[in-house]
Structure 1
Amino acid sequence: MTQLHHTPDVNLAHRPGAAVSDPAQPPADRGPWRRRAKIAGIVTAVAAYLVTFLIILPLLWIVLLSFQPSDKILGDPFSFTSLTMENYANALTNLPLLRMYGNTILIAVLSVTIGTVISFMASFALTRMVWRRKRSQSAMRFYLLAGLAVPVYVLLFPVYRLDLALGIFGTYAAVILPYIAVSIPFNTLLMTGFLREFPGELEEAAIIDGAGLFRICMSVVLPVMRPVLAAVLIFNVVYVFNEFPFVSILINNPDLVTVSLAVSRFQGQYTVDYGGMMAAATLVLLPQLIIYAFLQRHIIAGLTAGAVKG
């Protein structure tokens, strides 16, 4: 008769030299790692709050000075005992708000619309069209990069001479054309970075269905590029609102005054109304801050679009 011998289960945990692992407890070496990660998170948060404070501080300083009398701004700017609304009353009285906002919006709409259309066509040509010579395509990209490196102040005198030669000095076109030219390099490179990661299969499917070039751009490419287009529009509109060198040189008609040019009215040849200037600057900044507050997610999405594959 055969006897069955049951081999007792060998518990590896009781073997000499065997390590005991308890799944309910984390490894002993993860404690220092977690502490280092927590400290790094705290340092990063403190640095982020510090940078944010340094960015917001000038804006808060402008708002505070806008409630100070002009003589107090230079003499005792930290005084909170003589706050007044006289600067805002003076700014609202002297500034043609409707006219300056109307002129600025008109210039922004025309320049941003034309510049965005040209930039889109240029970016589509650089990323989708087949160039006969690759060197020409590379040269065009280098030309756009070079456009970003040219300071605005270097262009003032050439643009001034061109406006005089074309007979458009002192008109809307005198600033609209330079705004279009300045915006094209940045807009094109931003759109080009997105279109490089844009899948070409969608366009191929549209071509198979019989779509032409115009329909591909309007029905396939543009709907996907909405985040980038939103970022481009926001940046260009804010630039037009803040731009001062071109408009101060090329606009000499009081009826064509813009937002940035109207703020300089509080500076005379020998005197400066600092209180009125701070109040006017606050009135100019408020609409832009509201735009950024409500559209910041579109700006972030547009700048990061095409940056990560997936």
Structure 2
Amino acid sequence: MNVGIYFGVLTYAGKSIIKVILLLIAVSIVSFILVSASPVDPVRAYIGEVGMANMSAESLARLEAYFGLDTPPVERYLNWVTGFIRGDMGSSLVYRQPVADVIGVKFMNSLILMITAWVFSGIFGFILGIMAGLYRGRWIDKLIKGYSLLLASTPTFWLALVLLMIFSVWLPILPIGLSVPIGVKAAEVTIFDSIKHLILPALTLSVVGVANITLHTREKMIDIMAEDYILFAKSRGESRFAILRHHALRNIMLPAITLQFASISEIFGGSVLVEQVFSYPGLGQAAVSAGLGGDAPLLLGIAVISAALVFTGNLIANLLYGIIDPRIRRGSVHG
């Protein structure tokens, strides 16, 4: 066992984690500044126009003190960071619950949706990209490439509306929205009900996510098929799938994994629009509600959690490099 190699990998992982922490701090600062500069008055959004008209100046001052609006921005940010580290993200103005509880419920709904779309888009995008690269210039390549280019230029919300119109209105075989049937108690909701409500949102995210992975994998496959060792394998009479299995697959996996984990941010961004169209109660819909309602604590919590999700995905991709490609492990030791 070469201890130096694993020590290098652990050192690299430690440095990457420190970078992630610094990036999260930067995200929290920028998010706090943007939320503080928002024209939406959180007190007005909390009590409404009628409440503002009937509220006395003393009551308004007490509310501003309760929300911390009477303290300097730097002190307000430090108070929020201190509470965040302790696990206290504040109280949501929109949902009237602790932010941690709101994010916990919404995040689990979004996580199921995003993981489903992420896995299917990665698998199908990888397979389609390989097929297009193997048969470059043939009808299957043209079909896959045209399909991918069409999807890459299709707005996510438009595709969601089309699928909703087809499968929920014209062919009423899938629910029109939400994550559970309307009027059914939570204890009575079956797994089959949850899957039915998940199909359309996940299908929308998967279809859109397939395009970029397919096109990128296709280009890498074409480059690999032009390498000398591939040409040598062809000259020995090896079939396309034998070449793919023994020579090309390992070399194409590394960039594919990179793109797959990098697509987490794209999947999350698309989920915001998809959740709005399908009224899916996830983190994206909560972020929109918090923005429209001036819910600063919930917006800050969602921003930091979302950034942590994206940064963690990129960190995992970087660490997987060393598992797939031994040259990177050696480079981490000598670097």
- TM-score, length of structure 2 as denominator length: 0.56
- Measured after TM superposition, the shift of residue 70 of structure 1 is 4.5
Change (3 A) 1:137 1:108: same
Is there any run of 5+ residues in structure 2 with no aligned partner, and where? 1-24, 44-63, 178-196, 322-335
* Counterpart secondary structure, 2:267: helix
The 3-state SS of whatever aligns with 1:88 is coil
Tell me, yes or no, if structure 1 residue 79 matches structure 2 residue 73.
Answer: yes
Q: 1:130 to 1:264 in 2, by over 3 A?
A: closer
User: How many Å separate the matches in 1 of 2:143 and 2:121?
Assistant: 21
Distance in 1, matches of 2:34 and 2:162, equals 38
- Structure 2 Cα separation of the partners of residues 77 and 57 of structure 1: 21
Shift of 1:62: 0.6
**Matching of residue 198 in structure 1 with residue 218 in structure 2:** no
Map residues 62-101 of structure 1 onto 2, 5 A cutoff: 62-64=31-33, 70=42, 79-83=73-77, 84-85=79-80, 88-90=89-91, 93-94=98-99, 95-101=101-107
Question: Shift in Å at residue 216 of structure 1?
Answer: 5.2
Equivalent in the alignment of 1:161: 165
Gap change, CA 1:78 and 1:186, over 3 Å in 2: farther
The CA deviation at 1:204 is: 7.0
Q: What is the alpha-carbon distance in structure 2 between the residues aligned to residue 151 and residue 186 of structure 1?
A: 14
| Match in the other structure for 1:181 | 207
Distance change (3 Å), C-alpha of 1:206 and 1:247: farther
2:274 and 2:231 map into 1 onto residues whose CA distance is: 41
**Where does the alignment leave 5 or more consecutive residues of structure 1 unmatched?**
1-55, 300-310
Q: Select 2:286's aligned residue among 235, 259, 262.
A: 262
Identity score, percent: 9
Output the amino acid matched with 1:225.
Answer: I
- Contact map agreement 1:241 1:259 (CA 8 A) in 2: no
Query: Residue 249 of structure 1 corresponds to which residue in structure 2?
Result: 277
Farther off after superposition, 195-204 or 224-233: 195-204
Question: Displacement, 1:162?
Answer: 2.6
**CA RMSD for the aligned pairs?**
4.1
Counterpart code for 2:91: N
Structure 1: distance between partners of 2:29 and 2:253 = 33
Output the amino acid matched with 2:158.
Answer: V
Is 1:239 matched up with 2:266? yes
Specify whether residues 212 and 127 from structure 1 end up closer, same or farther in structure 2 by C-alpha distance, changes over 3 A only.
Answer: closer
Q: 1:77 to 1:227 in 2, by over 3 A?
A: farther
Q: Stretches of 4+ moved more than 4 A in 1? A: 56-59, 64-73, 75-78, 200-204, 206-212, 215-219, 293-299
More helix by share: 2
Give 2:129's aligned residue: 123
Q: Distance in 1 between matches of 2:247 and 2:238?
A: 13
The alpha-carbon distance between structure 1 residues 222 and 104, as it changes in their structure 2 partners (threshold 3 A), is: farther
Report if aligned partners of 1:174, 1:251 keep a CA contact under 8 Å in 2: no
Q: Distance in 2 between matches of 1:227 and 1:297?
A: 11
Equivalent-residue separation in structure 1 for 2:235 and 2:167 (angstroms): 44
Instruction: Tell me, yes or no, if the aligned pair for 2:167 and 2:174 is still in contact at 8 Å.
Output: yes
Q: Take 1:138 and 1:209, find their aligned partners in 2: how far apart are those partners?
A: 26
Matched, 1:103 2:109: yes
Q: Is the 8 A contact 1:63 1:282 kept in 2?
A: no
Whether the aligned pair in 1 keeps the contact of 2:225 and 2:248 (CA below 8 Å) is no
- SS of residue in 2 equivalent to 1:225: helix
Higher-Rg structure is 1
Q: Which AA in structure 2 matches 1:224?
A: N
Alignment of 1:281-296 (within 5 A): 281-292=303-314, 295=317
Q: How far has the Cα of 1:149 moved from its partner? A: 2.0
**Pairwise CA distance, 1:223:** 1.6
- Following superposition, the deviation at residue 196 of structure 1 comes to 0.9
Determine the C-alpha separation between the residues in 2 that align with 1:185 and 1:285. 24
Note the alpha carbon deviations across 1:224-279, whole angstroms, 9 max, x for none.
11222212221332222333111122144xxxx323223334356xx432343223
SS in 2 for 1:222: helix
CA 1:203–1:223 in 2, change beyond 3 Å: closer, same or farther? Answer: farther
Q: Is the 8 A contact 1:104 1:240 kept in 2?
A: no
In structure 2, relative to structure 1, the CA distance for the partners of 1:162 and 1:232 (3 Å cut) is farther
Instruction: Name the CA distance, whole Å, in 1 between partners of 2:218 and 2:202.
Output: 24
In structure 1, how many angstroms separate the alpha carbons of the residues matched to 2:30 and 2:136? 53
